[in-house]
Structures are given as C-alpha cells and as structure tokens.
Amino acid sequence: MEKSRLNTCPIDDKYWEVLEEYSYETSKGLVVVPKGFRTDYASVPKIFRNIINTYGKHGRAAVVHDWLYSSQCKIDVTRAEADKIFLEIMVEWNVKKYKRILTISSKKSPISISGRWIAFFLFFIRYYGILKMIKDKNKGVDIMKTKIIKRAYKFRIYPTLEQISFFAKSFGCVRKVHNLMLDDRKKAYEEYKSTGIKTKYPTPAKYKEEYPYLKEVDSLALANAQLNLEKAYKNFLKNKDFGFPKYKCKSNPVQSYTTNNQNTIYIKDGYIKLPKLKSLVKIKLHRKIKGIIKSVTISKNSINHYFASILCEEEIEELAKTNKNIGIDLGIKEFATMSDCTKVENLKLSKEYEKKLKREQRKLSRRCKLAKDSDKKLSDSKNYQKQKKKVAKIHNKIRNKRKDFINKLSTKIINNHDIICIEDLNIKGMLKNHKLAKSISDVSWSEFVRQLEYKANWYGRKIVKVATFYPSSKTCSSCGNIKETLKLSERIYHCECCGLEIDRDYNASINILRKGLEILKEEKVS
C-alpha cells in the first residue's frame, strides 16, 4: 500500500529524479525510495509508447523495482523477489494485464534488447493488430488518457463508548467554532453594509483562550470548519440565491467533522487510526481503497450509525470509446426513457413505504403530545425517542434504496455511451405544481444528473444539456412538426403531418438526442 505520494521530475529524455522520499508497504515490508534517486520508469521502446507510456499507474511499481535493483538499496531482496514485488504493486493498482506483461518484460534484465523488441512486437500483433492502430480520420493511435481525481469511500465504523464520547465532543466543538465565527461575520457584514469597511475575521485559535475545551479536539477539524464557512460566505456574496450561512443546531441528528491526513490516518487489519484518538476505530471495509488518503469525514446519522468518508487522491483511466450516443427523457411514471427504446421503471419508494410511514409518524405525533402534556422535555421522553428512531430508520431505508438505484443506473449509462444528451430541467419551478411535487421529489432527478456529470468528467464522457424550454415532447421525431398543445394525459404522440404514432417519452428522447448532437456541432464550429 502506498504510504506517500510519488513526486518526480524529468532530468533528461530518459531519467526522472525523485523529489520527495517515497514509501510503499510491500509483502517484503516497507520500501523507502530516498529523495534524489534516479529512475527510468519502464524502459519502453519509443515506437510502442503509443500503447504504453514509460510512466502511469505502473510508474509506482517501476520506481520501487528500480530502487530494489539499485546498489544503493540495503534491503535483502533477490532480483526474483524484486520482480515479484513489481508485479504485485501493478496488480494492486489495477494495471491492465497486457501492460503488466509489457512492463515486466521490459524491466527484467535477462531479456536482451533484441529479445525485448521481439516480445513487444509479438504482443502488439497478438493483442492490438495493425488495423486497430489506424483511426478512420486522422490515422493516429487511440491513446487512453489517465487523470488524477479525488474519490470518496464511505464505510460504516463501530466506535467504542470512549470513542463515541470523543466524536460527540468533536461535533460539539466544530459546531461551536462555526457558530462563533458566523456570529463575527454577521456583525462584520452589517458593519460593511453601513460603512463599506471590510474587517479581518478571527481564526479558531482566538476562541481557544475563552473556551479551553476546544484544545481537546483535533485542530484540523476546527480549521476545516473555518474553511467551510468561508466557502459558504463567499458563495453568498457572489450569489444571494445561496442564502446567508446558517447556524448549526445541537438538536440536529446528523453531525459531522472533517480532519486532514498529515501521516496521522491509516487503515490496518479492519481498523482505522484517527488523529487525537489513541485507540483504533473498527471499520467495515466492503471495498478496497485506492490512492492516497487526503482527508476523513466522521459523521453520525439520525439512527446513531457512525460513518467514515475517506477522500482519496487516485489515478484513473478514461473509458474506451463505445461509439454510442443516447438521449434521456426523465419522467415520473418511468424514471427514464432512452432513445435506444430502453425504459427504466420508477422505484416509487414513497408509495411503497407510505402506509408504514404514516402509521409510525402518527405514533410519533401522539407520543410528542403525551410528552408535552406531562411537561416533559422531548429529549427526556424515552418512548418518543424510540419512536423517532423507528421513523428515521424508514426514511434511511428509502434514502439508501434511492441512492443505490441512481448510482447503478448512472454508472451503466456512463460505461456504455460516449455522449449523453439530457434535459436541463427547472426542478425548482416544477415543484410549484402541488399535484406532482411529491412525485418529483421522490424520483430525485437532480441527484441523477449530478452523478452523470461527475462520472462523465472522470471517464472522458460528454454530457449535453438541452434547453429547458425545448419542446421535445411536442416535436415529431420523424418530420419535425411541432404541436401547439399536448396534454399530460396523452401518452401516445400522434403526428398530424406524417401520421407517426409513437410513445410520447420515446419520441422526446429521440428529439433530445438529436438536439444535443446539434448543440455539440455548433460548439465545434464556433
């Protein structure tokens, strides 16, 4: 596992210099590549660098391998063991099989230069072929691009009572600093409006003298609270639609704080180490973490479950071209109707859990009334708190199901299409229709579009948004005739000009795709 980020600088056309000490945990123990070490990464002949670069995901393995081969290295490792470690690291970073074969053959010293060339050539003929090397238009090699992204992994954690107490203290201190700083900004904003004079805002360190208990928690958590508030405040100044930042409430069941990794966070044997905590916290790792840990957000939800959201910096490879484009029409009855005749049914989660939710919410209201009638605080009423947890569990189940559905659908669409055309919906305006507001909120179109956008950015796909008022449903996909009126109850589109009869949503998806491709052409011309 990578312990620090690899930072190198090219010296000439062959060698790179390691600028910072690089450490990697291998099966043979910790390997530390010193600052100033020179590497040639993977010794790939120039003619084949269109297929595989000298550096990339496999670069980490190459640097470690070069160091283990070096005479400067004092680790007792044979060349065969070094080659095994080389392969092991590439597997860990999901380097493709053909790249592993090419790089391992290029690094092994027993293979002569001529033999290496033959190995490369044979592999090229076997897996790529000459025809795949040539493109239709520019006769160039289709190179897969790599990029560094930040990805968050969310895991359930199981803290002890002592750790829960620490988390509660951290949540409270972050909330306190946020509210104090917001108070100062509010006063400064009022002063700025009247006098036009800007004032400097204090840092969390200022409040530690007045509130000594702030020293007991992670200082980075307090610093992040300041950064988050600054971001919210700047957004408000740029655009008043964001609204003025709000105070954090103690009674809010959802609480969180964020801390940064300064070689203080690591995962080992199903446990995670966090700053300011002497003991390790149990974590359920349902998937493998890739890249370098940058920060961790500890959160508690409404049913008192604790989570660790681990933000990692990792290198990913763009997906291969599919030469497929798609238009998507979002709806209520069908969540999505696509231009390839695919329909995705809506989960209708609110209807599924409606009866159960109503029943439990009525119980909650009754227990709330009983507590108030007996002059009890709601926090002291055990029956109320039990029932509140039951309601929260149902909401949590609905939320998780919806999230899972949207994640899987967006990933599938991104994997199988190069260009995705979608409507730029005015959801805020649509929610004003009180007859459909509940159904629109339930389908969560905004979250679906958000996931499509960031996944497209990661994997080299293109999202095209068609204007809100484009009449996709009223336009005939065959002849282009536009109807003046089209009722929502009319589910089959009848064209008066060409006689086309087609499903309304399918017709809209074809028009969205066509319009999206037109927008792309206009952008390329301009």
Q: Which residues are the active-site residues? A: 329, 423, 505
Q: Cβ(74)–Cβ(67) under 8 Å?
A: no
DSSP code string of 75-139 = S---HHHHHHHHHHHHHHTT--HHHHHHHHHHH-TTS-HHHHHHHHHHHIIIII-HHHHS-TTT-
Report the b/e string of 131-151 with b at 16+ CB within 10 A.
Answer: eeeeeeeeeeeeeeeeeeeee
Q: Cβ(483)–Cβ(447) under 8 Å?
A: no
CA nearest to 42, candidates 56, 31, 25, 21 = 56
16-18 β-sheet, strand order: 8-10, 16-18, 38-39
Distance CA 34, CA 16 (A): 13
Beta-bridge mates of residue 8:
18
Distance CA 185, CA 182 (A): 5
SS3 442: helix
Q: Cβ(397)–Cβ(348) under 8 Å?
A: no
Report the b/e string of 211-227 with b at 16+ CB within 10 A.
Answer: eeebeebbebbbbbbbe
Q: Cβ(322)–Cβ(419) under 8 Å?
A: no
Q: Give phi and psi for 369, each to the nearest 5.
A: -65, -45
Q: Cβ(109)–Cβ(45) under 8 Å?
A: no
DSSP type of residue 222: H
Single-letter residue type at 387: Q
Distance CA 395, CA 350 (A): 10
Which residues lie closer than 8 Å to 477 by C-beta, 6 or more apart?
A: 500, 502, 507, 510, 511, 514
Distance CA 176, CA 318 (A): 43
Return the residue matching tokens 């008192």: 304
Q: Give phi and psi for 422, each to the nearest 5.
A: -145, 155
Q: What is the CA radius of gyration of the chain?
A: 29
